[in-house]
Chains A and B, each alone.
Chain A
Amino acid sequence: MLGKTAGGLFWMSRYLERAENTARLLETGQRMALTRTKNSVEEWASVLQTAGVLNEYLAKYDEVTKDNAVDWVLRDADNASSVKSVIKQARDNARLVRTALTHDVWSAVNATWMQIDAVMKRRVNERDLPAVLELIRHQAALVRGANLGTMLRNDIFDFTRIGTFVERADNTGRILDVKYYVLLPTAFSVGSSLDNIQWESILRSVGAGGGYRLTYGQKTSPTDIAQFLILDGRMPRSLHFCCRKIQENLAYLMKDYGFAGPSIEASNALYEKYLNRQISEIFESGLHEYIQDFLNDLVGLSRQIEIDYRFYE
């Protein structure tokens, strides 16, 4: 396979994953804003921060308002990480690697772009927002289904999976990074209704509400949430799950290609350093530092993968 193709597959999957996660983030923001009208500005700022686009937003707008924040995150062409931008980039990458994709995967990605482009020609008003967010998640599920159901399990598939899980680990990490303070155990947080809303919003933004209830029942505690999102190997958006998948797919490539680049070692080190741990240790050594270090090392791993498999010249 061409190195460029591997890169295109990796980025196509990253962008699709990012679109889905951003939609979920907006959904949560929308819900939080409805629940807590007083502080909704703060909530939208936190959405922008989690999406990693707060500074760029503030370069364009003087203040954070709901409508502008939604528009910026959803469809602004100046925001390279807006849902519309990333779906465009996913589709451009899919075109670049068209020969590596099945007809089903390609037409799912192409149809996604066509539909998103159509509904995002103009600002999306509040009434239509839920349907648009639903459409994004729907299309993401369609592409994923086509990928899982029609693609050969070979190096092509491995690169799409690695892209998906690098992006997902990054997104879950960012949510924890922005909201870590909510999860810190203090003498006062004993599960006030405000805390409950915050905790639920974290779960909701990674689509983990249902999974959490199945595992822990009605009792919501910050330690359990952190345990669930960081260390639970059954939860498909946890850092643990994502790292395992990256390791697995890199191992398939190693077997297939008969060589091991430094990225294999880096993925094992990432797991050992951050995930072969107890949640109590993580809290003791500092949740915030832990998440930030993890995100940095993840960027390093991603770079190493690009080098090992010759994505670029």
Chain B
Amino acid sequence: MSDYFDEMFNGDGSLRGPYEEIGRWFNAEDVSRLRAKQREAEEVFRLTGITFNVYGKAEAEERLIPFDIVPRVISGREWQRLERGIEQRVRAINAFLHDIYHRQEIVRAGRVPAEMIAENEAFLPQMLGVSPPGQIYTHIVGIDLVRTGPDEFYVLEDNARTPSGVSYMLENRETMLKMFPELFGATNVRNVSDYPRNLRRSLAACAPDCAEGEPTVAVLTPGIFNSAYYEHAFLADQMAVELVEGHDLRVHDGRVCMRTTRGYRPIDVLYRRVDDDFLDPLNFNPDSALGVPGILDVYRAGGITIANAPGTGIADDKAIYSYMPEIVEFYTGEKPLLQNVPTWRCSDPESLSFVLDNLSELVVKEVHGSGGYGMLIGPTASKKEITAFRAKLKSRPANYIAQPTLSLSTVPIFARSGLAPRHVDLRPFVLASPEGIKITPGGLTRVALKKGSLVVNSSQGGGTKDTWVLED
């Protein structure tokens, strides 16, 4: 019996409830036909251009994210629980952002230390006092979840800036529908395809007061060389809105306008996929060629809605993450429905001594690090590495947090040898607007294709799966 919770098979090899249909289907299938289908799927992805760009090469190379044909299944009951927890968390994040850029009650109440905010790079003083329509700061959110047991889900990370991957959720489903239509006849899989329509409606509901008639929405992309360009074009196409770059835009008469074949036309809501730093060369990074000079001034004066709002990064920072249980409770008055991964803040002397005593069992991360840099994975680190890290930790404890090594659940992939368990995570996509919070049933399942690996990132050998939420 494995140490990990497998979502498809019980310890005795029998199928777990949500996977009964998938199991039956797989057993009845001819393996060579499935292999041909797997290749066919990759061909579809290549032809459609569902690729990501790899940076750092002379000629930007486009790669596929490997797609595995065995779906990841979540029962209706499991999903309901997740949904409630995600909704609560997203409400809290938006309330937190509003508070942080206004009265900072949570700091006054002593629940989050002042320096966590004031000294945070992601905090934008330019946003102080700005109230976006509906008080929505983060309109599109991706909540990264991991599972360790039948009923144990944890939030690994909140993505409140510009979460990506939703096009994979949609294309993975399209691909499965095309290749295995018979599977969908036998199961009640909830639909994900209305995401673009909901996205557009959600964005339009956040239009500023100056919008006339049906609000004009546009997607702002850094351009065709950005690694997520496919997704930007896909979403603009599906929403039937313009896909703009910084050089298509200029500020005119207090509005942000796009250069069309008939002249400049104002934009009401800009779904930007450009980072804060590059958004406005006048207000932030002066070298940015990706943004629009003066857009922040228009925004502050209520001439445009920017989604997500500038400065939302303060809510998904690793240090702030450790305060999420307090944040959820402070703004909703309820206990958090979704658990954080237990996190030790090394700035706290008691936590620090615990962490130092248990380094070989823990994962230690830099507060502002990302992409796995500056990180110690205790169980796989050498004695020498641990000693070196111990010194770093002692000299700047506030720069680190520590978490237990999680036993991520597994879902089988269709490997050379047949079904083989691999670790997965899940990113559901959430839309927030004055009309409410909408969560697409499903999300992006990322899977570590290498045996035993816990790293699901596409840059390090991760793939994706179609994610099914069943109608119970």
- A interface, CB within 8 angstroms of B: 1-6, 92, 95-96, 98-99, 103, 106-107, 110-111, 114, 155, 257, 259, 309-310, 313
Binds A, one of B103-111, B119-127, B257-265, B340-348: B257-265
Cβ of B171 within 8 Å of any chain A Cβ, yes or no, is no
A53 vs B195: C-alpha distance when bound (angstroms): 49
Question: Are the C-beta atoms of A96 and B261 separated by less than 8 Å?
Answer: no
Cβ of B434 within 8 Å of any chain A Cβ, yes or no, is no
Question: Are the C-beta atoms of B244 and A2 separated by less than 8 Å?
Answer: yes
Nearest B-chain residue to A96, judged by Cβ: B224
Given contacts A95-B233, A106-B49, contact A313 B247 (CB under 8 A): yes
Chain A residues closer than 8 Å to B237, beta-carbon distance: 98-99
Chain B residues closer than 8 Å to A99, beta-carbon distance: 233, 236-237, 242-243
Question: Are the C-beta atoms of A98 and B261 separated by less than 8 Å?
Answer: no
Cβ of B46 within 8 Å of any chain A Cβ, yes or no, is yes
Nearest B-chain residue to A155, judged by Cβ: B261
Cβ of B248 within 8 Å of any chain A Cβ, yes or no, is yes
Question: Are the C-beta atoms of A309 and B229 separated by less than 8 Å?
Answer: no
Chain A residues closer than 8 Å to B46, beta-carbon distance: 114
Contact with A along B222-245 (1 / 0, CB 8 A): 001000010001101100001111
A114 vs B237: C-alpha distance when bound (angstroms): 22
Question: Are the C-beta atoms of A3 and B260 separated by less than 8 Å?
Answer: yes
Given contacts A2-B248, A107-B47, A114-B46, contact A95 B229 (CB under 8 A): yes
Question: Are the C-beta atoms of A4 and B47 separated by less than 8 Å?
Answer: no
Chain B residues closer than 8 Å to A257, beta-carbon distance: 261-262
Given contacts A98-B237, A99-B242, contact A3 B259 (CB under 8 A): yes
CB distance from B164 to the nearest CB of A (A): 17
Question: Are the C-beta atoms of A313 and B224 separated by less than 8 Å?
Answer: no
Nearest A-chain residue to B48, judged by Cβ: A107
Nearest A-chain residue to B44, judged by Cβ: A107
Chain A residues closer than 8 Å to B260, beta-carbon distance: 1-3, 310
* In-complex Cβ contact of A310 among B47, B233, B236, B259 (8 A): B259
**Majority SS of interface residues in chain B?**
mixed
Question: Are the C-beta atoms of A110 and B47 separated by less than 8 Å?
Answer: yes
Nearest A-chain residue to B245, judged by Cβ: A4
Nearest A-chain residue to B258, judged by Cβ: A2
Residue contacts A-B, CB under 8 angstroms, 15 given: A2-B248, A2-B258, A3-B259, A4-B259, A6-B261, A95-B233, A96-B224, A98-B243, A99-B236, A99-B242, A106-B49, A107-B47, A309-B261, A310-B263, A313-B247
* In-complex Cβ contact of B224 among A95, A155, A310 (8 A): A95
CB distance from A204 to the nearest CB of B (A): 33
Nearest B-chain residue to A259, judged by Cβ: B262
Question: Are the C-beta atoms of B248 and A4 separated by less than 8 Å?
Answer: yes
Question: Are the C-beta atoms of B261 and A1 separated by less than 8 Å?
Answer: yes
A291 vs B105: C-alpha distance when bound (angstroms): 77
Question: Are the C-beta atoms of A2 and B259 separated by less than 8 Å?
Answer: yes
Chain B residues closer than 8 Å to A259, beta-carbon distance: 262
Nearest A-chain residue to B265, judged by Cβ: A2
Known contacts A98-B49, A99-B237, A106-B49; 16 additional CB pairs below 8 A are A1-B242, A1-B260, A1-B261, A2-B260, A3-B259, A3-B261, A4-B259, A95-B224, A95-B229, A98-B243, A103-B48, A110-B48, A110-B49, A111-B47, A259-B262, A313-B259
A219 vs B49: C-alpha distance when bound (angstroms): 50
Q: Tell me which of B244, B261, B263 has the highest count of chain A C-beta atoms within 10 A of its own C-beta.
A: B261
Q: Closest 3 CB pairs between A and B? A: A98-B233, A99-B237, A309-B261
Contact with A along B122-155 (1 / 0, CB 8 A): 0000000000000000000000000000000000
CB distance from B96 to the nearest CB of A (A): 35
Nearest B-chain residue to A158, judged by Cβ: B261
Chain B residues closer than 8 Å to A310, beta-carbon distance: 259-261, 263
A106 vs B46: C-alpha distance when bound (angstroms): 12
Contact with A along B241-275 (1 / 0, CB 8 A): 01111011000000000111111000000000000
CB distance from A309 to the nearest CB of B (A): 4
CB distance from A174 to the nearest CB of B (A): 29
Q: Tell me which of A6, A99, A110 has the highest count of chain B C-beta atoms within 10 A of its own C-beta.
A: A99
A111 vs B44: C-alpha distance when bound (angstroms): 11
Nearest A-chain residue to B233, judged by Cβ: A98
Nearest A-chain residue to B247, judged by Cβ: A313
Chain A residues closer than 8 Å to B242, beta-carbon distance: 1-2, 5, 99
A105 vs B245: C-alpha distance when bound (angstroms): 23
CB distance from B248 to the nearest CB of A (A): 5
CB distance from B463 to the nearest CB of A (A): 21
Given contacts A99-B242, A313-B259, contact A3 B248 (CB under 8 A): yes
Chain B residues closer than 8 Å to A103, beta-carbon distance: 48
A273 vs B252: C-alpha distance when bound (angstroms): 41
CB distance from A23 to the nearest CB of B (A): 22
CB distance from A246 to the nearest CB of B (A): 16
A2 vs B237: C-alpha distance when bound (angstroms): 14
A98 vs B223: C-alpha distance when bound (angstroms): 12
CB distance from B366 to the nearest CB of A (A): 36
A145 vs B236: C-alpha distance when bound (angstroms): 25
Chain B residues closer than 8 Å to A114, beta-carbon distance: 46-47
A111 vs B45: C-alpha distance when bound (angstroms): 12
A6 vs B261: C-alpha distance when bound (angstroms): 7
Nearest A-chain residue to B224, judged by Cβ: A95
Nearest B-chain residue to A108, judged by Cβ: B47
Chain A residues closer than 8 Å to B245, beta-carbon distance: 4
Nearest A-chain residue to B235, judged by Cβ: A99
CB distance from B348 to the nearest CB of A (A): 50
CB distance from A106 to the nearest CB of B (A): 7
Question: Are the C-beta atoms of B248 and A95 separated by less than 8 Å?
Answer: no
Q: Tell me which of B234, B237, B244, B262 has the highest count of chain A C-beta atoms within 10 A of its own C-beta.
A: B262
Chain A residues closer than 8 Å to B233, beta-carbon distance: 95, 98-99
A259 vs B262: C-alpha distance when bound (angstroms): 9
Nearest A-chain residue to B238, judged by Cβ: A99
CB distance from A87 to the nearest CB of B (A): 15
Nearest A-chain residue to B59, judged by Cβ: A77
A257 vs B237: C-alpha distance when bound (angstroms): 22
Chain B residues closer than 8 Å to A5, beta-carbon distance: 242
Chain B residues closer than 8 Å to A4, beta-carbon distance: 245, 247-248, 259
A257 vs B263: C-alpha distance when bound (angstroms): 11
A14 vs B410: C-alpha distance when bound (angstroms): 51
Taking CB atoms and an 8 Å cut-off, the chain B residues in 168-197 that contact chain A are: none
A98 vs B46: C-alpha distance when bound (angstroms): 15
Nearest B-chain residue to A257, judged by Cβ: B262
Chain B residues closer than 8 Å to A309, beta-carbon distance: 261
CB distance from A38 to the nearest CB of B (A): 41
Chain A residues closer than 8 Å to B261, beta-carbon distance: 1-3, 6, 155, 257, 309-310
